A and B are shown apart, each in its own frame.
Chain A
Amino acid sequence: MKRSGLVRGGLVPGALAGVAGGLVFGAAMADYGALPTIASIVRAQSVVAGFAVHMLIAAVIGAGFGLVVYPLRSGVGETLLWGIAYGGLWWFLGPLTLLPLLLGEPATWTVEAARAAFPSLLGHILYGATAALALSALSARSSDERPALRPSAGPLLRGAGAGLIAALLFAVALGAPSRLAALMPAAAVGSLWAWLATGLAFGIGYGLLYPRLTGSPGAALTRGMTYGFVWWVVVALTLVPLVDGAGLAWSLDAARGEFAAFPGCLLLGAAVGLLYRWLDGLRRLLFVQDVRAIEHESAGARGLRALGRGALGGLLGGLVFTVVMVQIGFLPTVAQLVGSSSVGVGLAIHLLIADLIGASYGLLFRRQSFDVGSALGWGVAYGLLWWLLGPLTLLPILLGAPPQWTLAAAAAAFPSLVGHLAYGAALGVAFYRLEARYSPWWLTRNEIEAERAERRREQVFGSAPALWAVIAMFAVTVPLLLGQ
């Protein structure tokens, strides 16, 4: 990597993109009146001084982002993920740590301080997202190597199809259209058609961002979940309230009011990601005539083994989780699924579910982990998905109630969240260990195989770590900050 290339291709466009992100974030800060606080860094009070300081910081941090993304050569959607992870990290570093220190006050890192900085968290995410999009646009202009921004019809159609199917699935699963309101904040509430249109827009957005398909269905699912998070911040908390004329819904209370959309958006995103991948699989199955474009790992070849390894991993993860289930006395609730209330029945059902989820992990995430680190990343992401899908959605539905997408339910299920994350981590590592023991496909015997493995590795590491970082930072933080 040439130093001049790093400056021209990374630093400068990064700084420009940072300015773009800073403008958006700055406008929001002007709206909720945080600029004077920034100004106090230079011992000033005025909004203008605050904006100037903010823009300077935005440009410097943006330059850093340019350096981070430069070696990765990612597409638009992947860069977006990196942007959000980067912006999120700066929320922890900036308003929670450096800003108090610069102002001469001790930082406290308490929940109260973090809750007070909640609008700033959303601002940092939006900053990262805007900077990422701007950087993609700048890079696409300056270089032929990166994928162009111009959308092609195929991904958009697939995205639209995935969005529609997911929306229909949700409509069937959730029943009354009024419950879908949780996913369509404020004015859009109402008919099924409005909901399907929301799904369509959601899917098309996904197709626009991720036209290239990399990784397994599991990776697509995780990516979709993170996309859902972005949708929650950008659409549910920002655009829709703005269009409604209600101003930004960035205050803690406003965000609490829109909490139902948080699990809703994440689950919708996961569904769209997975469906998008499967629709693409269907397209390949039916319409791809060039055999070179087809993956050589057919589903039947190693699927059974992956299923078995996943089931074993799930059992191990389930045992880790059991400790907490017993501790918080949750097993009788699980037993209600079969109309019992005994702890023993609850334990059996819990382990069975852990096993089934593990098996599905095996199918979705096989050949995706290279090391314990990546195994943890996928596992924790899958654990988060099942917290949203399990105790908040399916368990109430199976017990005859609507999904519990409320703050109170999420707060009560917080131990379950921690448990699901720990479960996912154990599952991921156990599955990786089993895969590594019997078919470590990344260990190669010659240069040609090594090249193949390297290409795959580059694909995974082009965007997957950003997903893991976003999930690591926000899976616990958001419910914790919003919970009361």
Chain B
Amino acid sequence: MRSLRREDMAIGAAAGLVSGLVLVALTLWQGMAISGLLGLTGRGPAEVALQLLLATLAGAGLAGVLGYAAQGYSAMVSGGLLAGLLLWIAGPLTVAPLLEGRGPTWSLREAGDVFSSLIADLLFGALTAFLFYMTLAVRRRGESPSARGGPSEEPRVRVVIAGGGFAGVSVAQGLERHFARDPEVDVTLVSSSNYLLFTPMLAEVASSAVEPAHISAPVRASSARTRFRRGVVQEIDPASGVVRVRTGGSVSDLELPYDHLVLALGSVADFRGLPGVEANSFTLKTLEDAVALRNHVISLLEEAEGVGHSEERRRQLTFVVAGGGFAGTEAIAELFDLVHGVLHYYPSLRAEELRFVLVHSRDRILPEVGERLASYALEKLRARGIDFELERRVESATAGALRLEGGHEIHTHTIVWTAGNRPAPVLAPLSEQLEGKGAIPVEPTLQVVGHPSLWALGDCASIPDPRRPGASYPPTAQHALREGKLVAGNVAAAIRGEEPKAFAFEPIGVLVALGRRTAVAEIRGRQFSGLAAWIMWRGIYLAKLPGLERKLRVLLDWTLDLFFTRDVVLTGQDERRARDTVVEQRVAEGAR
């Protein structure tokens, strides 16, 4: 395409020269008293030569400007007239007075003085454009449309991005920016869901504060120039440069060849092989998880309403979250808000019968924030009536109870597991081959160790943190977004034969919502808590939500939440079955 452009400009220069000759001929042989393209009136050999040189340059420039999408004589001549007008403004009205040292005034009088140049420029532009297109049309006769800038048949470089979370979509958007005008770089994104899930608000979906669809943005809309394939990555074969994808339905598996593969598959819940835990607990990683948990909790309330005071009713009204990190703490706080918020619909249930428990293996919750904030959060939640089982590990689970180390049992039908994650199982063979501990070990440039055309980022990669030797960057959304941007730049650099850059990022801070009107935040070392932190949480996450439309929808959800009670409508399938389906899916994915 680049050489085509140069050729266009050469043709344009020739057309400009011919038009310039016509102009000179009119001046010299017809005795016309006209000033030329630049408004110069002299007729000596030097002036004529300058005139022709200028005409040639102007012709080349005109071709460079108009030649890209040449559309027939009429459009070209129109463009030529326009170029002529601008040439007149730039030349006789601006440059010529500057050269003469008096500065442009663009006044009516001055414009009147170089009026003949206006006509000269307009006609020159029209004639040059006409001649240029004539040559172009003759040369292009019989050419296929694709040679004229249509879609190219075969991409030069194929980039496959596996995973449609923050990391994957951020890479796709970055690559769109780098290769917006280069159709020869083909970017494909593979993900099992066709939307980007805004995970920080997942707990709010589980508690009915926000509609599920409002925290998810379609990948096809947010990265419109990337090819999207919905499917589950089955196998990565770096030796032959192919990714195998199961798309489901009646379509057989896809084989996607790649030149660069970006692994951004994220993580799955890690149950550490504890007996019964996987089969009897909910997780909070996908939209389906959040909806299933919400439906489960509400249907338990419906059931408990018809059961007398009994052991079963106690199990139904006890809600346990395992894991006291971000996700677990936000989940227990939101569950508390949901159940208490809708309790008035259930006249036979008393608030004292409800029990919320958070189980955590260490002596304090929220290891991600400072000690003072963590204890503030603990006190806040305790004051609301949430029980904490600290320094206790989960041992096993059954359909009606969670058993902790030391034999203590909590009778419940609701266990939410947030106590461990591991990289997507499909990456296990690659990780083992590289002697990684689950996550894929990468260089500071985010290239997989020993594989320069493989890139890994986000929750599934172990990225060395230069400030803390031996440690890796934490798997958070704010890191994934930055990593994605860097990977996009590095892949672009690799394609262009440039040097990739190393990843270095100083996290801005952390925010944890603690339910109604309370949160804790640590930003650039400063600590915030209570309403101020809560407003900050909402403001910052609202700003981070992708797309104006989703922002408005979530804002509307929050506003309605101020005036109306949360929803208790149970839709879709029976809650137990929904949970079974989710668990089955999880088991199936784990087995892979």
Contact = CB atoms under 8 A, between A and B. Distances in A.
Interface of A: 68-69, 71-72, 82, 85, 89, 92-93, 96-97, 101, 106-111, 114, 300, 304, 324, 327-328, 370-374, 376-377, 380, 411-412, 414-415, 418-419, 421-422, 425, 436-440, 442-447, 449-450, 457, 461, 465-466, 468-469, 471-473, 475-477, 479-480, 483
A124 to B, nearest CB: 14
Contact of B115 (A107, A111, A328): A111
CB-CB nearest 7 A-B residue pairs:
A465-B78, A109-B116, A415-B106, A469-B78, A414-B108, A418-B106, A465-B75
Contact of B103 (A327, A442, A449, A466): A327
Given A97-B119, A468-B81, A472-B84, 11 more contacts: A82-B74, A109-B32, A415-B107, A444-B150, A445-B151, A445-B186, A445-B227, A465-B79, A473-B122, A480-B115, A483-B112
A476 B68 contact: no
A93 B127 CA distance: 11
A468 B82 contact: yes
B565 interface: no
Interface stretch (B175-183, B338-346, B354-362, B441-449): B175-183
Given A109-B119, A370-B69, A440-B180, A376 B225 contact: no
Interface string B88-126: 110001000000000111111001100110111011001
Given A68-B73, A108-B33, A438 B180 contact: yes
B82 A380 contact: yes
A469 B106 contact: no
B226 to A, nearest CB: 10
A109 B104 CA distance: 22
Contacts of B89: 418, 421-422
B151 A449 contact: yes
A472 B85 contact: yes
B32 A108 contact: yes
Contacts of B119: 92, 96-97, 109, 114
B12 to A, nearest CB: 12
A483 to B, nearest CB: 5
B135 interface: no
Most chain B CB within a 10 A radius of its CB, from A69, A380, A476: A476
B65 A480 contact: no
A54 to B, nearest CB: 22
Contacts of B93: 418
Nearest to B129: A373
Contacts of A415: 105-107
Nearest to A305: B548
A466 B79 CA distance: 9
B68 A372 contact: yes
Contacts of A371: 65-66, 68-69
Given A106-B33, A327-B105, A418-B106, A372 B66 contact: yes
B151 A444 contact: yes
A476 B112 CA distance: 10
Interface in B16-35: 26, 30-34
Nearest to B145: A450
Contact of A477 (B72, B103, B118, B150): B118
A480 B112 contact: yes
B548 A438 contact: no
A477 B117 CA distance: 12
A341 B107 CA distance: 23
B456 to A, nearest CB: 27
Nearest to A419: B106
B79 A101 contact: no
30 contacts: A68-B73, A71-B72, A72-B72, A72-B74, A92-B119, A93-B123, A109-B116, A110-B33, A324-B106, A328-B105, A372-B66, A373-B65, A373-B68, A373-B69, A376-B79, A376-B82, A414-B111, A418-B89, A421-B89, A425-B86, A437-B177, A438-B180, A445-B225, A457-B69, A465-B74, A465-B75, A465-B77, A469-B77, A469-B81, A471-B82
B180 A111 contact: no
Contacts of B30: 101, 106-107
Contacts of A465: 71, 74-75, 77-79
B78 A377 contact: yes
A68 B74 contact: yes
Given A415-B107, A438-B180, A107 B69 contact: no
A142 to B, nearest CB: 21
A371 B82 CA distance: 14
B301 interface: no
A58 to B, nearest CB: 20
Interface in B151-185: 151, 176-177, 180-181, 183
Contacts of A93: 123
Most chain A CB within a 10 A radius of its CB, from B74, B77, B88, B183: B74
Contact of A476 (B33, B104, B111, B151): B111
A450 B177 CA distance: 20
B83 interface: yes
Contacts of A71: 72
Contacts of B74: 68-69, 72, 82, 465-466
Given A445-B225, A465-B74, A476-B85, A414 B107 contact: yes
A384 to B, nearest CB: 11
Contact of B183 (A68, A425, A444): A444
Contacts of A114: 115, 119
Nearest to B123: A92
Contacts of A377: 78-79, 82
Contact of B122 (A111, A327, A440, A472): A472
B549 interface: yes
Nearest to A469: B78
Contacts of B123: 92-93, 97
Contacts of B115: 109-111, 114, 480
